[in-house]
Structure 1
Amino acid sequence: MSMPHVQPDAEFLSGDSTWVRMRTVILVRWTAVAGQIGAILTVTLWLDLALPLFACAVTIGALVLSNLLTSTLLPVSYRLSTKELRSLLLFDLVQLAVLLALTGGTTNPFALLMVAPVAIAATGLRRGSATTICIATLIAAVCASVFSLPLMYSSGEVITIPPLLSYGYLLGILITTIFISVYTHRVSAEIRNMASALMATQMALSREQKLTDLGGVVAAYAHELGTPLATIKLVSAELIDELSDHENLNTLREDAELIRDQADRCRDILHSMGRAGKDDLHLRQAPLDSLLHEAAEPHMDRGRQLIFDLRPADGSDGKQPVIRRAAEVIHGLRNLIQNAVDFSASTVWIDGHWTDEHLIVRVIDDGPGYPVHLLGRIGDPFLRARPDEVKPRPGYDGMGLGLFIAKTLLERSGATITFRNGGDPFLDQHERPERSGAIVELVWSLAAISGTKSGGLGENRNNPGV
C-alpha cells in the first residue's frame, strides 16, 4: 500500500507569522516601555546625565500610544499576519533608533537591543520580510550613530568616546545584526522542516497501523460470522432435501437453494477480506522472505524485475530469521523499494543476509544513483536541489520526504541505515557494473528485530477479540 500524500502546512514551512499572538507582542512592547522609562530615570537621577527628556518622553509616548491602539483595536488572541508583524517591528525599530540617537547613539550600551526585532523577524517571518527588517536595522543603526546627540552630565561636561571605539560599537552591531538574521532564520527553517517531516512520518505510520487494525477487524468479523453462516447453509441444505420430495413445493425449494448460495457467497467474501487481517493478527512475526515480499508486493507489477537474494552470511547456521511484522519496518522498506523502482532502469535487487547476531538488508537498483552533491544529505527532509539529468519521479516533488520517512521509521525499529552508490556516476553506461545505482543498506541486531523476542517498539497490538 502506498503512503498518503502529505502536504505540509505552507505557512508553517515558509515561516509565516500567523502563529504569533497579539498578546505576546503587546506584553513584549510593554516590557520595552518599562525598560526605556527605567533606563531614562536611572541615568538622569542616579548618574546625573543631562538628557533631552521632552524628546525622550515623546519618543516613548509614541510606543505607548501604538501599544494602546493595537490592544484596543485587536483582541489579545488575534494572530498577526506577516504584514502586520513586519509593520510593528519596523515601528519598534524606528522608535528605538530615535531614542538611541537622543541618548548617545550606538555607543549607548542598550544599542544591542536593535538586534531584537531582527531575531523576531528571522524566526517568525518569511525570508523577504526578514531581509527587509535586517536591512532596516542596518540603516537605523548607521543613522542612530551618525545623527546622535552626545551624552553629557548636568554640569555641561560632554562624555567623549574615542572614535575608534565608536566605529567599533557600530561595526559590532552591524555584524551581529547580519549574523543573527542569517543564523536564526536558517535554524528556524530547519526546525520547521523537521517538525513538518516528523508530522508526515507520524501520519504515514498512523495510516499503516490503522490499515493493519482494519484488517484485524475484518478478520474478526469473518471469524465470528463463520458459525452462523455455516448454520444457515446446513439448515438450507436440509430444507432442500426435505422439499425435493414434494413437487408442489418447488418454489420453496428454490428459495432454500438461494439461501444456501448466498450463504456460500458471504463466506467467500468474508474469507477473501479477512485473509490479510488474519495474517496481521495472528502472524505478528514472519520469515524474512515473507516480510520482504510483503513490503515489495505493491511494486511487483510496475514494469521492473525484482530479484530477491536471501541467504546466510559466511559462518552462520543458515536458519532464516523470523522478523517482527511491525508497521514501521514494512512501511519503511516499502518506501525504499518504491524509490528504487522509480529510479531503476530495469532491475531492483533486494538482498537479505544474516549472521548469528545481525540482519543485513540491501535495496539496490540499476538507475543513475544518488546525486553526488546530495549523497551526504540523503535522508534529510525537503531537499529541493535536483540535477536535471536525473529523471523525474512520478508523483514525487523531489523534496526527500519519502526517504526521510523511511529512514525515521526504520531507525525507530533499531536499524542502522547507509546510503551510497554502487558505481561511479561519471562512468559511461557500458563501463558501469550491473548493480550500479543507489544502494540502501540496513543493519539490525537480531535481538532487536527478531520476532521471537520483544523488541524496542513493543508488541504489535491488534484487535484482541479475534
Structure 2
Amino acid sequence: TGGLHNPFSLLLLGPVTISATALSLRSTIVLCGTAIGLATGLALFHLPLITQNGGRLELPGIFIFGIWIALVIAIVFSTAYSRRVTTEIHSMADALAATQMALAREQKLTDLGGVVAAAAHELGTPLATIKLASSELWNELQDQPDLAEDAALIRDQADRCRDILRDMGRAGKDDLHLRQAPLMMVLEEAAEPHRMRGKTFTFTLGPDAGDAADQPAILRRPEVIHGLRNLMQNAVDFAATTVWVEANWSDTVISVRIFDDGTGFPPHILGRIGDPFMRRRPSDRSNARRPEYEGMGLGLFIAKTLLERSGAELRFANGPDSAPKTDTPVGAVVKVTWPREKLDAHHGETPLPTGENTRFT
C-alpha cells in the first residue's frame, strides 16, 4: 500500500544486506536484482495510501523518483560493502585456522615421537620373554623338525620386532638439543624460506648484544619461528635490496629488530599496524610489488598474535637515517622484545633439562 510513498519501503534493504553475509554471490546478485525490480514496480504500481480522514497521501513524482534512486544506490552499496567485509572476515578466519593447524601439527609430531619412544621401551620386555621362550623350545624340539622350524620362525620374528622397535625408539627420542638453539641460529632459520627471493639478508648484533659467543640459547617454539618468519616476509616484500636482522640481549630482555630499505610505513597507519585488514601500502602499489599476495594485512596480524602469545611486545616504526653499520637509508623497522625469562632455554621460566652425557662411538 502506498508503494514508495510508504516509509516502510526502506525495509527492502534488510534481505539484501543479510544475503550478502550469508548466501552465495550468485544468490546475492539475484536477490539484489529482485529488490531493485520490486522497488521499480512499487514506484509504478501500488494501492493508494489513504489517510485517516479519507484523503490520498501522494508525493510529487520527482520526490518518488529520488526515493527510487536512493533505494537502488543503497541496495547496491550495502550489498557490495557487506559482501566485501564478510569475504575478508572469512579469509582471516581461514588464515588463522591454517596457522593453528600448522602449529598443532608440529606439536602432535613432537608428542608422537614421545609415544613411539615409550612404546618401544614398554614392548622390549615382553619381546625378550618371547625370544627366550622360543629359543628354549627350539633347543628342546631338535628331534621334531616341523615344530623346531616353527619355534625358529617365532624367534626370528621376535628379533625382527626388536630391531623395528629399536629404530622407532631412536627416531622417537626427544633430542634436547633440537628444542633449543642460539638466538642467531633461530633468526636464520626463520629467514631461510625467503633467502631465495632476490633480497639480501644481513644478520648483525646490536650495540648491547656483547660477544656472539655469549648469545643466549632460546626455546625453538613454533609460534616464535613462525611469527618472526612472517615479519621477515613482510620486510622482503617491500625492501628494495636488503633486509637487516639485528639481535640484542641483556640480563633481562631479548630483542630483535627487522629493518628494510623500502619506503617505510605510512605515518597515518603506524598506530594501527597489526590490526586485521590493515594494509601497509595502498592496494594498487602493493599489488604491483607483491603480485603473489592479496595484501589484506593478515601476515602482520598473525605474526603479532603469535609473538604476543609467547610474551613478546611489538613496536612498528620508520627507521633512522641509515641502517646499522651502513649508510643505506632505512624504511620500516619492527622491534620484538621478550622478557628474557620467557625465552631463555636455560635460565627462563621453563628451562630445559641438560640430559645425560652420552658416549660417542
> Is TM (by shorter chain) over 0.5?
yes
What letter matches 1:390 in structure 2? R
- Secondary structure, counterpart of 1:158 in structure 2: coil
* Match status 1:195 vs 2:93: yes
Is the Cα–Cα contact under 8 Å of residues 332 and 409 in structure 1 kept in the other structure? yes
Distance 2:299 2:3 in 1: 52
- Secondary structure, counterpart of 1:115 in structure 2: helix
Cα deviation 1:249-289 (Å, max 9, x = unaligned): xxxxxxxxxxxxx9xx99997898568x41278x5x65534
Distance 2:17 2:229 in 1: 42
State the TM-score, normalizing by the size of structure 1: 0.48
How much has 1:104 moved relative to structure 2?
Answer: 1.5
Unaligned runs of 5+ in 2: 129-159, 353-361
- Secondary structure, counterpart of 1:444 in structure 2: strand
* Match status 1:107 vs 2:1: no
Is the Cα–Cα contact under 8 Å of residues 363 and 441 in structure 1 kept in the other structure? yes
After TM superposition, the structure 1 stretch with the greater mean CA deviation from structure 2, 123-132 or 179-188, is 123-132
How much has 1:304 moved relative to structure 2?
Answer: 7.2
Q: 1:119 aligns with which of 17, 29, 37?
A: 17
* Match status 1:213 vs 2:111: yes
Distance 1:160 1:300 in 2: 73
State the TM-score, normalizing by the size of structure 2: 0.59
How much has 1:214 moved relative to structure 2?
Answer: 4.5
Q: 1:330 aligns with which of 225, 239, 245?
A: 225
How much has 1:409 moved relative to structure 2?
Answer: 1.8
Residue of structure 1 in register with 2:259 after alignment? 364
Residue of structure 1 in register with 2:36 after alignment? 138
Unaligned runs of 5+ in 1: 1-102, 232-261, 425-431, 461-466
How much has 1:196 moved relative to structure 2?
Answer: 1.4
Is the Cα–Cα contact under 8 Å of residues 423 and 433 in structure 1 kept in the other structure? no
What letter matches 1:408 in structure 2? T
Is the Cα–Cα contact under 8 Å of residues 208 and 331 in structure 1 kept in the other structure? no
Q: 2:83 aligns with which of 185, 193, 211?
A: 185
Residues 220 and 433 (structure 1 numbering): CA distance in 2 closer, same or farther, change over 3 Å? farther
- Secondary structure, counterpart of 1:399 in structure 2: coil
* Match status 1:442 vs 2:336: yes
Residue of structure 1 in register with 2:47 after alignment? 149
Distance 1:419 1:104 in 2: 57
Residue of structure 2 in register with 1:407 after alignment? 304
Cα deviation 1:381-407 (Å, max 9, x = unaligned): 697755576376xxxx31345555433
How much has 1:118 moved relative to structure 2?
Answer: 1.1
Residues 385 and 216 (structure 1 numbering): CA distance in 2 closer, same or farther, change over 3 Å? farther
Cα deviation 1:169-212 (Å, max 9, x = unaligned): 65664554345323322321222122112112212222332343
Distance 1:200 1:147 in 2: 53
Q: 1:313 aligns with which of 167, 186, 208?
A: 208
Is the Cα–Cα contact under 8 Å of residues 216 and 280 in structure 1 kept in the other structure? no
Q: 2:56 aligns with which of 159, 176, 188?
A: 159
Counterpart mapping for 1:19-98 below 5 A: none
Cα deviation 1:26-61 (Å, max 9, x = unaligned): xxxxxxxxxxxxxxxxxxxxxxxxxxxxxxxxxxxx
Residues 321 and 186 (structure 1 numbering): CA distance in 2 closer, same or farther, change over 3 Å? same
Residue of structure 1 in register with 2:143 after alignment? none
Residues 391 and 107 (structure 1 numbering): CA distance in 2 closer, same or farther, change over 3 Å? closer
Distance 1:215 1:298 in 2: 25
Distance 2:104 2:89 in 1: 22
What letter matches 1:183 in structure 2? Y
Q: Percent identity?
A: 43
Alignment size in residue pairs: 301
Is the Cα–Cα contact under 8 Å of residues 312 and 355 in structure 1 kept in the other structure? no
Counterpart mapping for 1:199-348 below 5 A: 199-214=97-112, 216=114, 224=121, 273=171, 277-279=174-176, 283=179, 288-296=183-191, 306-311=201-206, 313=208, 323-337=218-232, 348=243
Is the Cα–Cα contact under 8 Å of residues 369 and 437 in structure 1 kept in the other structure? yes
After TM superposition, the structure 1 stretch with the greater mean CA deviation from structure 2, 127-136 or 381-390, is 381-390
Residues 154 and 416 (structure 1 numbering): CA distance in 2 closer, same or farther, change over 3 Å? closer
Query: Considering only aligned residues, what root-mean-square deviation do their CA atoms show, in Å?
Result: 5.2
How much has 1:152 moved relative to structure 2?
Answer: 3.3
